[in-house]
Amino acid sequence: MKINSCIFLIVSVFLSLFLRVYFLNKSGYLFDINCFLEWGGKINESGFWSLFGGDYYQDNGIDYPPLVPLICSWWFSLVSQPTVLFYKILPTIFELGLIGINSYYILKSNFKFKNLLLFVVIVQPALGLVTSAWGQVDSIMALLILSGFIFWEKNFFLASLLLFLSFLAKPQAVIAIFIYFLSLLFRKNKRDFFVQGGFWLLLFALMILIFHFFGGSNFFDPYTTSVGRYTNLSLNAFNLWWLIFKDGAWSMNDTLGPYKAIGLSLFAVFHVPVLIFAIRRKINLQSLLMLTSYSYLIFFVFPTQIHERYLFPSLALLTIPSAYSNLLFAFYIALSATFFYNCFAVLQSVYPQFDFVSENLLRGDFPVAISFINVLTAIFFAYYLINESFGKNQKK
């Protein structure tokens, strides 16, 4: 590596660490943080089944899969009294893992704008805000998905195991799992699809039996109780519904009209480019990440009941594909900006902690413009996939 490149890399890392230290010292989204502190603390004091045994949704009010509370309990065991700052270091470590892996693949590429992409990936204020300032754990799920995809084709069993762990971290991992099995289904050798399908059935059966016999509980409760828990058109996500109804999308109920059906229908229709690509093109790591990122993007843009943070995996998984396409790079930059503004606006409006901002950033026309960019990016991304599907390179 040249001296100038080394200096550039060192400066980028320094800025990244400085930004995360700044974010870590913010109070964060206290409701979410207090939940993780409570769940991890309870497991630490009374064991895993004290939280997930019996009817744990009814008894403990928890509608979260088991992996993150379990990881939190291990992390909290390192100190006598875990603080907000100490807790937030945990998801930050996973985000740094994302940065490290993505940076490695970018450095290996011959991308024209490699240095600019590398700078954005290393500093990445959007993901850092959600992880180090907000205190959310999307980085855990995203790192497990990325790690699983890296082992795609090299070791399908390890890939499946890592993806299963991502499902134990957050329910939204089901989107990545769907793309994973879709890629197996359209391989020339269909054997891997059925073998991994059987392996997943064994994993699910094992978890069901463990929860039933050791905890007297239902393994699927966190997944069934969390789906449809909120009925807002948009849970502060700057998407199609915010574009149409502005901040009124928060107070509107998606059960009062056909909005939910429309959103889910658009989500399904916009998966057609994914199917076309999977049928016509050979899948590699870059295309697997690209398809998954796109799927998470349209999940953010079209359905109702979507949180502002649900764009996190789309952005995290788009990084490596961005090093192989100028248009994907443009999508990555655009989504980095819109995601940062969206999450910053929500965090500051609910728990004000940045003194240089006084107005409510959720109001007005600017969030509508952000929503328009997100919707437009999803549409152009769909067009890009269709166009690439009929390209000359890497045909099956």
What pLDDT is stored for residue 187 in this prediction? 83
CA distance 259 to 302: 10
What pLDDT is stored for residue 255 in this prediction? 72
SS3 for the chain, per residue? CCHHHHHHHHHHHHHHHHHHHHHHCCCCCHHHHHHHHHHHHHHHHHCCHHHHCCCHHHHHCCCCCCHHHHHHHHHHCCCCCCCHHHHHHHHHHHHHHHHHHHHHHHHHCCCCCHHHHHHHHHHCHHHHHHHHHHCCCHHHHHHHHHHHHHCCCCCHHHHHHHHHHHHHHCHHHHHHHHHHHHHHHCCCCCHHHHHHHHHHHHHHHHHHHHHHHHHCCCCCHHHHHHCCCCCECEEECCCHHHHHHCCHHHHCECCCCCHHHHHHHHHHHCCHHHHHHHHHECCCHHHHHHHHHHHHHHHHHCCCCEEHHHHHHHHHHHHHHHCCCHHHHHHHHHHHHHHHHHHHHHHHHHCCCCCCCCCCCCCCCHHHHHHHHHHHHHHHHHHHHHHHHCCCCCEC
For residue 170, tell me if it sits in a domain: no
What pLDDT is stored for residue 9 in this prediction? 86
What pLDDT is stored for residue 253 in this prediction? 83
CA distance 289 to 295: 10
pLDDT tens digit sequence for 188-200:
788 999 999 999 9
Task: Round to the nearest angstrom and report the end-to-end CA distance of the chain.
Answer: 36
For residue 14, tell me if it sits in a domain: no
Q: How far is C-alpha 333 from the chain's CA centre?
A: 17
For residue 32, tell me if it sits in a domain: no
Domain limits for position 291: 228-396
For residue 335, tell me if it sits in a domain: yes
Q: Does position 151 have pLDDT exceeding 90, yes or no? A: yes
Average pLDDT over all residues of the chain: 93
What pLDDT is stored for residue 117 in this prediction? 96
For residue 357, tell me if it sits in a domain: yes
Residue at token pair 């893992």: 97
What pLDDT is stored for residue 1 in this prediction? 59
Q: Does position 392 have pLDDT exceeding 70, yes or no? A: no
For residue 312, tell me if it sits in a domain: yes
pLDDT tens digit sequence for 70-119:
999 999 999 999 999 999 999 999 999 999 999 999 999 999 999 999 99
Instruction: Select the more confidently predicted residue: 50 or 89.
Output: 89
By DSSP bridging, strand 306-307 and strand 234-235 are parallel
For residue 384, tell me if it sits in a domain: yes
Q: Does position 161 have pLDDT exceeding 90, yes or no? A: yes
Least confident of 49-63, 158-172, 308-322: 49-63
**Over the range 56-94, which residues count as b (16 or more CB within 10 Å of their CB) and which as e?**
bbeebebbbbbbbbbbbbebbeeeeebebeebbebbbeb
pLDDT tens digit sequence for 206-233:
999 999 999 999 999 888 877 767 788 9
Q: Does position 305 have pLDDT exceeding 80, yes or no? A: yes
pLDDT tens digit sequence for 340-365:
999 999 999 999 999 999 889 999 99
Count of the separate structural domains present in the chain: 1
For residue 359, tell me if it sits in a domain: yes
Residues with Cβ within 8 Å of residue 313, at least 6 apart in sequence: 138, 141, 142, 145, 172, 175, 176, 292, 293, 296
Query: What phi, psi does 236 have (nearest 5°)?
Result: 70, 15
Give me the percent of the chain exceeding a pLDDT of 90.
83
Q: Does position 396 have pLDDT exceeding 60, yes or no? A: no
pLDDT tens digit sequence for 293-302:
999 999 999 9
**Short-list 186, 219, 293, CA closest to 49:** 219
Q: Provide mean pLDDT across the span 306-326.
A: 97
